[in-house]
Amino acid sequence: MSSEHWKGIPVPGVGDDLLDAWPRALDAAGVIATAASVAVARTVLSAAEASGHGPTAAHPAVFLIGGNLWWSDGSRSAEGVWALRPVNEVEVDDQTYASTWNGSLASGQFTGMASSTLSTRPYDRLVSVSAGLYAAGKSGNVDMCVNCQGRMRLVRIDTGDAASYAASIQAVVPAGVAPAISMGLRGGSGGGSASLSSDTRFNYLSVQAVPAPML
């Protein structure tokens, strides 16, 4: 009876058909193939599928293309094209705020105008956040605020002036934890009042996430 190596490779047992065992073992072995281009890799995947050995989520195919590693878990685009993703793919999420806002904020009160929609992942990620908005300070103290996994970056809105403001921050999102990333206005010491433009070219929240070392 065959068994399975801890790396997921089936190992034939006494009496098993060795000629049949070899293709099944190679399907699961995680061997890196080479391809001259993504198009060539997709041709190889189609041929592998036709022979009954296409990639799966449990046993993906990995290609070295132009010095970079790309992988396929067997999924396809809506047009039926093989999906190939770079290893250690950078996740990107862009949000905007398109509504006007005009009001007062108590000290520490946060509007939460835009929030990231990054998914939870089973590994740590280093997240880099950049945000901007166009605001007019009317009275008191109001800040542009960017929150990222419990960390906060503040930029004071000038009272009596309208201007574009920007802020950036980095943090690690732990494995299995939902990202908590948002941008908006926050009441400063004593609170204050302000208004916000509805122009999405000014009001944005951009997030990039990459796998982080897990020590």
0.75 exceeded by pTM: yes
CB 134 within 8 A of CB 203: yes
Phi, psi of 59 (to 5 degrees): -135, 75
* Model confidence pLDDT, tens digit, residues 19-72: 777 777 777 776 788 999 999 999 999 999 998 889 999 889 999 999 999 999
Instruction: Say what the pLDDT of residue 16 is.
Output: 78
CB 71 within 8 A of CB 84: yes
Residue closest to 146 by CA, chosen among 206, 91, 191: 206
Q: What is the mean pLDDT of residues 121-135?
A: 97
Of 1-5, 24-28, 127-131, 135-139, minimum mean pLDDT range: 1-5
pLDDT band at 5 (very low <50, low <70, confident <90, very high): low
Instruction: Say what the pLDDT of residue 202 is.
Output: 97
* Model confidence pLDDT, tens digit, residues 189-214: 999 999 999 999 999 999 999 999 99
* Model confidence pLDDT, tens digit, residues 58-81: 889 999 999 999 999 999 999 999
Phi, psi of 90 (to 5 degrees): -80, 125
Per-residue pLDDT at 7 exceeds 70: no
How far apart CA 33 and CA 50 sit, in angstroms, is 18
* Model confidence pLDDT, tens digit, residues 107-119: 999 999 999 999 9
CB 110 within 8 A of CB 188: no
Q: What is the mean pLDDT of residues 115-131?
A: 97
CB 118 within 8 A of CB 91: yes
Instruction: Say what the pLDDT of residue 58 is.
Output: 86
CB 35 within 8 A of CB 65: yes
Instruction: Say what the pLDDT of residue 17 is.
Output: 79
* Model confidence pLDDT, tens digit, residues 162-192: 999 999 999 999 999 999 999 999 999 999 9
Q: What DSSP string describes the chain? A: --EE-TTS-EE--TT--HHHHHHHHHHHS-PEEE-SSHHHHHHHHHHHHHTT----SSS-EEEEETTEEEEE-S-B-TTSPBP-EETTPPEEEEEE--S-EEEEE-TT-B---EE--PPP-SS-EEEEEEEEEEEEEEEEEEEEEEEETTEEEEEEPPBT-EEEEEEEEEEEE-TT----EEEEEEEEEEEEEEEE---TTTSEEEEEEEE----
Instruction: Say what the pLDDT of residue 65 is.
Output: 96
